[in-house]
């Protein structure tokens, strides 16, 4: 699992002082009555929920694997009976061969990389002798509801077959990963936020509903700057299952991603720090030949400062803004040219390509 600073300091400020909503004032008469005690869940209902957990875990855990490379470990989900396994690109990193162990035990299996889609932090690996691997059941992530109970299954800290529970805290988040070795700093659109504990090693595992369907792939955990970059409890993010299965199916059938469904500006850039020590925009290092930016007249050396009126002071901010748009959309891009002149150019966005 990767860590991401998700604007927690700002969120804390916004929440400070948020108390109960004001109520209308009224004159009370008569004898006050005691407030009825809150009813506790009945033993039968607790037993029913417990049974549901047990059933889901026993059904899904055999479809979860631990992936070991020379540099680390993560999790994966058995995608089909042919031995394809979907995971995060950052779990695979630069490895082309890895070892896979089913969460419920058994001898390690040798696997190889089929293809990584680094821009979406997804990858498919394959076990060539998949006897005994059980494909997971994937649900429709467009039907995920805030508040529904979910379980996160994977191998946190190498503890094979671990399960945590929580709820779906939010849907439709757009989050960016930090750029590190083996990870280009992918931006995930439409991420599912969950309170289920997600720790290093959970990446590539399964976020599962109580019907036993995989609805997401745990990928990111938030960090809190006030804790020195430590984990922010109860804030994790998962790639929606609809995104994961679409990308995985393309890789399985065609060996690569042919339709990312993601918009692209067509540049390579980096965050530029201004004279005040603060991020001031995205410096264009390279433009893709024939890409959206080149067609609109954006050149290396330009500084992109906004998209559709929204400031893009960092590469992450630019990526998150683009992720909310679609291929073919027209965007108004604010540009500071190397000669000091400024311009707003209309860019017809292209499609994010697989590497």
Catalytic residues: 90, 121, 203
Greatest distance between any 2 Cα atoms in the chain: 80
Q: Where are the alpha helices (DSSP H) in the chain?
A: 8-15, 43-60, 89-92, 241-254, 292-296, 315-323
Rounded to whole angstroms, how far apart are CA atoms 104 and 99?
15
Nearest in space to 308 (alpha carbons), one of 296, 295, 322: 322
- The sign of the CA dihedral 304, 305, 308, 314 is positive
Q: Closest Cα partner for 185 from 175, 172, 170, 199?
A: 175
Backbone angles phi, psi at 248, to 5 degrees: -65, -40
The H or E element spanning position 238 is strand 230-240
């Amino acid at each position: 699992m990767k860590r991401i600073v998700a604007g927690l300091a700002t969120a804390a400020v916004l929440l400070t002082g948020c108390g109960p909503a004001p109520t209308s004032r009224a004159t009370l008469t008569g004898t006050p009555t005691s407030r009825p005690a809150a009813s506790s869940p009945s033993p039968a209902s607790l037993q029913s929920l417990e049974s549901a957990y047990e059933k889901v875990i026993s059904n899904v855990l055999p479809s979860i694997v631990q992936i070991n490379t020379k540099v680390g470990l993560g999790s994966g989900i058995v995608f089909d009976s042919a031995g394809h396994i979907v995971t995060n690109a950052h779990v695979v990193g630069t490895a082309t061969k890895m070892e896979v162990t089913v969460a419920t035990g058994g001898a390690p299996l040798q696997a190889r990389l089929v293809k990584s889609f680094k821009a979406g932090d997804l990858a498919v690996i394959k076990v060539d002798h998949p006897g005994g691997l059980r494909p997971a059941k994937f649900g429709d992530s467009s039907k995920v509801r805030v508040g529904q109970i979910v379980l996160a299954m994977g191998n946190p800290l190498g503890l094979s077959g671990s399960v945590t529970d929580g709820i779906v805290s939010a849907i439709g988040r757009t989050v960016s990963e930090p750029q590190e070795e083996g990870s280009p700093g992918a931006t995930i659109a439409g991420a599912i936020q969950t309170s289920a504990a997600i720790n290093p090693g959970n990446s590539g595992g399964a976020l599962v509903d109580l019907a036993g369907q995989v609805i997401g792939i745990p990928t990111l955990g938030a960090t809190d700057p006030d804790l020195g970059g430590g984990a922010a409890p109860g804030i994790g993010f998962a790639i929606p299952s609809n995104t994961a299965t679409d990308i995985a199916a393309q890789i399985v059938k065609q060996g690569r991603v042919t339709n990312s469904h993601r918009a692209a500006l067509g540049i390579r850039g980096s965050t530029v720090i201004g004279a005040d020590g603060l991020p001031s925009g995205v410096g264009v290092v390279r433009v893709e030949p024939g890409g959206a930016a080149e067609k609109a007249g954006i050149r290396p050396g330009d500084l992109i400062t906004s998209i559709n009126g929204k400031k893009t002071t960092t590469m992450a901010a630019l990526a998150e803004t683009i992720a909310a748009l679609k291929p073919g959309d027209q965007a108004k891009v604010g540009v500071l040219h190397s000669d000091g002149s400024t311009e707003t150019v209309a860019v017809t966005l292209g499609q994010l390509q697989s590497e």
